[in-house]
Structure 1
């Protein structure tokens, strides 16, 4: 099983394979093309590796990391069979898919805690509030240099150096909605990358770093970086992101479900149908292996039923949502 920490060379190779998969018409029937979220990437890549082993090379699966938004752009143009997403599909993406005749099946595959991360030398910030994070990241703060002491007088006058995913990322969308209060609304003067490993390296290097990305990358890089607790707006408790706190719903508002979207037409090809079935049967095991939170067995059963019945569309309304617990997700899945 490949670990979450993937070299930039490997990521470049993956992106290249995805591209070639799109233009090699002679092999299209045996190539499954996937792109999208860098957060969901480790799960899908793990499933792809296991599936290709099981098929003994008869089917090739390429997995790209264009970000959730970038992945949906390709998906809604009919360029990919499956889109990895760290948030539900949005109205404008739904409209684009409809315009191009792309029908899809939405399948939840795991749960993730979006982590706020600092440098290991940061021994002062152990817990932050949504209000503190908003002050630093809101669009109105563009161009302003913050010091840690600006957020708490007990903290040192150390300049804050920001890093996070780019604007095509579902993590970007989710964080801005949960923290700033409006999706895609954030200051733009920070180190941005769709490759979470670049963000890990920045946080590891910069003493004043304040970054955000998926929990799996924190789990994989323990000791190199440090996640801090977030004060739950409802309970007032400072909660660290972990497999247990995300699953229990204590870690809010930065917990979220992860998805794959399957092009319904692609399911006319037996290898795509077989891959999705394999994915749903192995998502719990592989999610856990690469540092994510498996959904309850009932959620996977509901997802399998939806897939078997070819239920199209989304259980979400095309609007950004935050703080959705596992129980709430299950209720929505059961209604459809």
Structure 2
């Protein structure tokens, strides 16, 4: 298992552990400032081919806090291999990432939802370019409660809807189930610019962005973690990686599609197989075609879809893509 370290709104890769892990797998991570390698599809897979020498330039990335840990890990390792490439990664939410891409402020948008048609149209009008959709990992939005909460082990989609739907009057746990405590529920969730907010509200409430508003929102998932961990009767939701990094302080709620369905907890297996429903999903990066004209950006995205990139995805607790999907991403980069 590759080791990760948490810090403000992110999960940062330990390069020493990475090097040891990759060496154990028969692959070597470059930890000095020499030129590294980036993958290209050969023989139907993402075996490595040398990256062009002398890559230079800046790459600006912003958007989803869910995708942020992956892009941050990719950026750190890519910059070690390419000392003249500078990459900055922000986490302002998927919708804000899309706006910044459309406005020409960034090169790549991290998004935990798909780029909308109206956003594509606006990008075409303003910059005369298009986005390339690239799935980067699988994720499962995880409903979490405090570690001391031993009663809410599972909930149905309908029960979650009663709590989170627009104009919900649910205030206490015993209003969900009579046998649960007569205690107020303190709610935490992503802000309205978040792709996770859009996906969750559509999957649970039946309409994207339609939600009760009397909860504590934040685009920084670590704020949500801290909130739920600090209140015995709190509930929140965010990406699976943030739950895994904090499972000593949080419990994940298993989800039932309906009262007669089995409860399914989020895990690497259930998210990969999409049996953790309806909250399993793909997450994405969106570069523009114009950005891909710059060699250092194209090579960075090749690295994102390399075997080493897959290890970084797993290192920050997400589920790596199937090889077939990575090959399609690499084809799109051509």
TM-score under structure 2 normalisation? 0.82
Contact 1:81 1:266 in 2 (8 A): yes
- Aligned partner (choices 256, 259, 265) of residue 290 of structure 2: 265
Between 66-75 and 267-276, report the one with greater CA deviation: 267-276
The whole-number CA distance in structure 2 between the counterparts of 1:69 and 1:90 is 10
Is 1:286 aligned to 2:312, yes or no?
yes
Residues 184-234 of structure 1 show CA distances to partners (whole Å, capped at 9, x for unaligned) of: 100111100000000000010011111000000010011111111001359
Alignment match of 2:302 (pick from 274, 277, 281): 277
Which of 59, 79, 102 is matched with 2:105 structurally? 79
Residue correspondences, number: 288
Match of 2:324 in 1: 298
Alignment of 1:29-178 (within 5 A): 30-55=57-82, 57-100=83-126, 101-141=128-168, 144=169, 146-178=171-203
SS at match of 2:129: coil
Q: Choose from 213, 217, 220 the match for 1:188.
A: 213
| 1:37 Cα deviation from its structure 2 partner | 0.4
State the Cα distance separating 1:146 from its structure 2 match: 1.4
- Aligned position for 1:311: none
Q: Distance in 1 between matches of 2:200 and 2:301?
A: 28
1:21 equivalent in structure 2? none
Distance 1:103 1:207, change over 3 A: same
Tell me how far apart the structure 1 counterparts of residues 213 and 196 of structure 2 sit (CA, whole Å). 15
Q: Could you tell me which runs of 5 or more consecutive residues in structure 1 were left unpaired when the two chains were aligned.
A: 12-28, 309-336
Preserved contact between residue 126 and residue 229 of structure 1 (Cα < 8 Å): yes
Q: In the alignment, does 2:244 pair up with 1:219? A: yes
Report whether the alignment pairs 1:3 with 2:28.
Answer: no
**Take 1:287 and 1:231, find their aligned partners in 2: how far apart are those partners?**
28
1:80 & 1:161 partners in 2: Cα distance? 36
CA offsets per residue over residues 88-125 of structure 1, 9 Å max, x none? 11122122212212311111111000000000111101
Question: 2:109 & 2:166 partners in 1: Cα distance?
Answer: 29
Structure-1 separation of matches of 2:154 and 2:309: 32
> Cα RMSD between the aligned structures?
1.9
**CA offset digits 1:16-61 (Å, max 9, x no partner):** xxxxxxxxxxxxx711000010000001100001100011x21100
Whether contact under 8 Å (2:4, 2:11) holds in the other structure is no
Tell me the distance in 2 between the aligned counterparts of 1:103 and 1:245. Answer: 34
Does the CA contact (< 8 Å) of 2:158 and 2:258 recur in 1?
no
1:9 CA drift (Å)? 10
Superposition deviation, residue 145 in structure 1:
5.1
The aligned residue for residue 46 of structure 2 is: none
CA distance 1:234–1:76, change in 2 (3 Å): farther
C-alpha separation between the residues in 2 aligned to 1:140 and 1:32? Answer: 42
- Cα deviation, 1:217-256, whole Å, max 9, x if unaligned, reads 0100111111110013597110110111101121000000
2:41 is matched with none
Shift of 1:8: 5.8
- Counterpart CA distance in 2 for 1:284 and 1:152 is 42
Distance in 1 of aligned mates of 2:6 and 2:260: 34
CA distance in 2, matches of 1:192, 1:70: 15
Partner of 1:208: 233
SS at match of 1:97: helix
3-state SS in 2 of match to 1:5: strand
Structure 2, unmatched stretches of 5+, are: 13-55
